[in-house]
Amino acid sequence: MNPPDEQRRILIFAMKLGYQTRAFDEAARKLGVELVFVTDRCQRLDDPWHDRALPVHFEAPEEAAYAVMQAQRGKHVDGVLAVGDRPALAAAYAARGLGVTHNHPVSVEACRSKLRMREVFRDAGVPVPWFRDVMLNATPEPALLGIEYPCVLKPVSLSASQGVMRANTRKEFLAGAARLKHLLDSAEIQATREPNLDRMIVEEYLPGREVAVEGLVTEGELRVLAIFDKPDPLEGPFFEETIYVTPSRLSRAEQAAVEKSFADAARALGLMHGPVHGELRLNERGVWPIEVAARPIGGLCARALRFRMSDKDEAIGLEELLLRHALGLPGKDARREEQASGVLMIPVPKSGVLEEVKGLDEARAVKGITELEITARLHDYLAAWPEGSSYLGFLFAKGETPAYVEAALREGHRKLRIEITPRLPVEHPVTKRI
Ligand code: ADP
């Protein structure tokens, strides 16, 4: 008989291997745990230093899970983590097949569909705006659908606010629906083979302040790791993210209401184990979960979070915290450090080819700025929102207070001079008709 396989091992499902998975790799080395990466972008690895990734197709999650189970046959797996929305369902199936504590695939599936999520919330008594499932194949007539204004049009399963638009009038609704159809029909989006690319969800526009919440669920119990304020008004017509700052400046009572609403939403979805990230809005009618995802905060934003087990211990990153949680190691209940911290997801000012970003040194020299990384590649075409979904880069700040951090991020951003050459103007084929 073979000796028992005692190597601790965690599977990380990620779209591509890059800055976020590298942080997991560093934490794993420190903890002496082996990481097995599962990705569907193997042909385009940005990390040649890494050669252990298992290639799968995330759009076929059960097949992907089966391939992973075959590859891990005879090996012990301690945990499964998904980084990003697209890999989450394959991760849930694989965890189930491997007998690893995780979320049920049905819960993850509900997180992946904005429509299903609204149905689950409604049925569980979690506040929801009115919502409609609208096919995009024929021009929808808002009056027949009972649409009122303002409303929000969104794709069912994309992320990062891609394709999300506010409409205040029938004319804007029709233009938005046509624009969304055009986006969903594009070769790039069709290549994702996401389900539901033929429809949209339309819902009531919820005014109010927005926060993002990072949490960790252990056997159904949610612990909130951080509440991020989003100090820029997110009133549309498009909804790209900008500044996140924690700790929140909401009152204690408001923060408690946010935590309760987030926990109710996660419970309604049946999320049982692992990282959760959510967006919620607050107004005089209460707290409204806009979205809950069964994954940690995306992009480079995790770098805004550092945790300490005690005053004496060195701070650890979110990736290490998540590995400790998956392995049941001490430190999984570490608290966020005291300092205020924030990140600016650097917006794409207009679509076009990124020629140059100037002022990097000036931005880095701003007091409070701790890090600046331009993640977009020079000379690549960048799409602005709503068609776009990736930021130009990330700017980080730390300081005594959230107000200081916010001011540093704004000042750092002002120093950047982003040169984008627009492509030759191409009339939008559908919106032109309206
Ligand atoms: P995604 O998963 O693509 O980020 P979301 O449903 O979270 O899509 O929407 C993205 C953003 O759009 C939200 O963070 C919020 O700012 C805005 N938004 C979405 N739905 C509404 C709504 N019903 N009312 C107001 N704003 C909304």
3-state secondary structure the chain: CCCCCCCCEEEEEECCCCHHHHHHHHHHHHHCCEEEEEECCHHHCCCCCCCCCEECCCCCHHHHHHHHHHHCCCCCCCEEEEECCCCHHHHHHHHHHHCCCCCCHHHHHHHHCHHHHHHHHHHHCCCCCCEEEEECCCCCCHHHHCCCCCEEEEECCCCCCCCCEEECCHHHHHHHHHHHHHHHHCHHHHCCCCCCCCEEEEEECCCCEEEEEEEEEECCEEEEEEEEECCCCCCCCECCCCEEEECCCCCHHHHHHHHHHHHHHHHHHCCCCEEEEEEEEEECCEEEEEEEECCCCCCCHHHHCEEECCCCCCCEEHHHHHHHHHHCCCCCCCEECCCEEEEEEECCCCCEEEEEEECHHHHHHCCCEEEEEECCCCCCEECCCCCCCCCCEEEEEEECCHHHHHHHHHHHHHHCEEEEECCCCCCCCCHHHC
**At residue 39, does pLDDT exceed 60?**
yes
Q: Is cis: bond before 247, omega within 30 of 0?
A: yes
| CA-angle at 265, arms to 263 and 268, nearest 5° | 105
Distance from Cα 387 to the centre of ligand 1, integer Å? 15
193 is a domain residue: yes
192 is a domain residue: yes
255 is a domain residue: no
Q: 336-375: string of b/e by CB count within 10 Å (b at 16+)?
A: beeebbbbbbbbbeeebebeebebbeebeebebbbebebe
* Domain of residue 143, residue span: 130-204
Distance from Cα 117 to the centre of ligand 1, integer Å? 13
Distance from Cα 239 to the centre of ligand 1, integer Å? 7
Q: Is the CB of 238 under 6 A from ligand 1?
A: no
Residue 424: predicted pLDDT: 59
374 is a domain residue: yes
For residues 393 and 348, state if they share a domain. yes
84 by Cβ neighbours in 10 Å (0-12 / 13-18 / 19+) ranks as buried
For residues 33 and 82, state if they share a domain. yes
Comparing CA positions, the residue from 76, 80, 77 lying closest to residue 14 is 80
* pLDDT tens-digit series, residues 423-432: 755 545 444 4
For residues 104 and 179, state if they share a domain. no
Distance from Cα 245 to the centre of ligand 1, integer Å? 18
Share of the chain above pLDDT 90, in %: 83
**At residue 232, does pLDDT exceed 80?**
yes
For residues 59 and 103, state if they share a domain. yes
Q: Is the CB of 109 under 6 A from ligand 1?
A: no
For residues 13 and 55, state if they share a domain. yes
Q: Is the CB of 86 under 6 A from ligand 1?
A: no
Distance from Cα 179 to the centre of ligand 1, integer Å? 17
Here the CATH number for the domain that contains residue 71 is 3.40.50.20
Of residues 432 and 201, which shows the higher confidence score? Answer: 201
Among 117, 154, 389, which is best to mutate for testing ligand 1, by the most ligand atoms less than 8 A from CB? 154
Return left, alpha or beta for 368; rule: phi > 0 is left, psi -120 to 50 is alpha, else beta.
Answer: left
Domain count, the chain: 3
User: What's the whole-number mean pLDDT along residues 294-316?
Assistant: 92
Residue 151: predicted pLDDT: 98
| CA-angle at 86, arms to 7 and 99, nearest 5° | 35
- Whether the Cβ atoms of residue 384 and residue 338 lie closer than 8 Å to each other: no
**At residue 359, does pLDDT exceed 90?**
yes
Distance from Cα 354 to the centre of ligand 1, integer Å? 27
Find the range with the poorest average confidence among 5-9, 225-229, 364-368.
5-9
| pLDDT band with cut points at 50, 70 and 90 for residue 5 | low
Of residues 5 and 279, which shows the higher confidence score? Answer: 279
Q: Is the CB of 213 under 6 A from ligand 1?
A: no
Mean pLDDT of all residues in the chain?
Answer: 92
User: What's the whole-number mean pLDDT along residues 114-127?
Assistant: 98
Among 115, 291, 390, which is best to mutate for testing ligand 1, by the most ligand atoms less than 8 A from CB? 291
61 is a domain residue: yes
* pLDDT tens-digit series, residues 49-62: 455 789 899 999 99
246 is a domain residue: no
Q: Is cis: bond before 429, omega within 30 of 0?
A: no
Q: Is the CB of 205 under 6 A from ligand 1?
A: yes
For residues 79 and 171, state if they share a domain. no
| pLDDT band with cut points at 50, 70 and 90 for residue 332 | confident
Q: Is the CB of 206 under 6 A from ligand 1?
A: yes
Q: Work out which ligand 1 atom sits closest to the CA atom of 159.
A: 3
For residues 100 and 136, state if they share a domain. no
For residues 411 and 367, state if they share a domain. yes
User: What's the whole-number mean pLDDT along residues 62-75?
Assistant: 93
Q: Is the CB of 129 under 6 A from ligand 1?
A: yes
Q: Work out which ligand 1 atom sits closest to the CA atom of 205.
A: 24
**At residue 3, does pLDDT exceed 50?**
no
**At residue 47, does pLDDT exceed 50?**
no
For residues 142 and 79, state if they share a domain. no
Distance from Cα 220 to the centre of ligand 1, integer Å? 25
Select from 204, 225, 255 the last residue of a domain: 204
Other residues' Cβ atoms within 10 Å of the Cβ of residue 260: 12
Residue 67: predicted pLDDT: 94
Select from 109, 138, 167 the last residue of a domain: 109
Comparing CA positions, the residue from 84, 3, 77 lying closest to residue 390 is 84
User: What's the whole-number mean pLDDT along residues 103-118?
Assistant: 97
385 is a domain residue: yes
* pLDDT tens-digit series, residues 123-182: 999 999 999 999 998 888 998 899 999 999 999 999 999 999 999 999 999 999 999 999
- How far is Cα 278 from Cα 293, in angstroms, rounded to an integer? 6
| pLDDT band with cut points at 50, 70 and 90 for residue 309 | confident
Residue 6: predicted pLDDT: 77
Residue 15: predicted pLDDT: 87
Q: Work out which ligand 1 atom sits closest to the CA atom of 293.
A: 2
275 is a domain residue: no
Q: Is the CB of 107 under 6 A from ligand 1?
A: no
For residues 100 and 14, state if they share a domain. yes
Comparing CA positions, the residue from 258, 308, 28 lying closest to residue 127 is 258
Here the CATH number for the domain that contains residue 182 is 3.30.1490.20
Q: Is the CB of 336 under 6 A from ligand 1?
A: no
Q: Work out which ligand 1 atom sits closest to the CA atom of 230.
A: 16
Distance from Cα 224 to the centre of ligand 1, integer Å? 21
Residue 310: predicted pLDDT: 85
Select the highest-mean-pLDDT range: 20-29, 202-211, 328-337. Answer: 202-211
Residue 62: predicted pLDDT: 96
Residue ID of nearest Cα to ligand 1 atom 2:
159
Residue ID of nearest Cα to ligand 1 atom 23:
205
Residue 330: predicted pLDDT: 86
Q: Is the CB of 85 under 6 A from ligand 1?
A: no
Length of the chain: 434
Residue 321: predicted pLDDT: 97
For residues 99 and 26, state if they share a domain. yes
Here the CATH number for the domain that contains residue 366 is 3.30.470.20
Find the range with the poorest average confidence among 8-22, 190-204, 341-355.
8-22
Q: Work out which ligand 1 atom sits closest to the CA atom of 234.
A: 16
Residue 53: predicted pLDDT: 86
For residues 61 and 142, state if they share a domain. no
- How far is Cα 150 from Cα 156, in angstroms, rounded to an integer? 19
Residue 434: predicted pLDDT: 39
Residue 426: predicted pLDDT: 53
| pLDDT band with cut points at 50, 70 and 90 for residue 183 | very high
- How far is Cα 25 from Cα 10, in angstroms, rounded to an integer? 11
Distance from Cα 161 to the centre of ligand 1, integer Å? 6
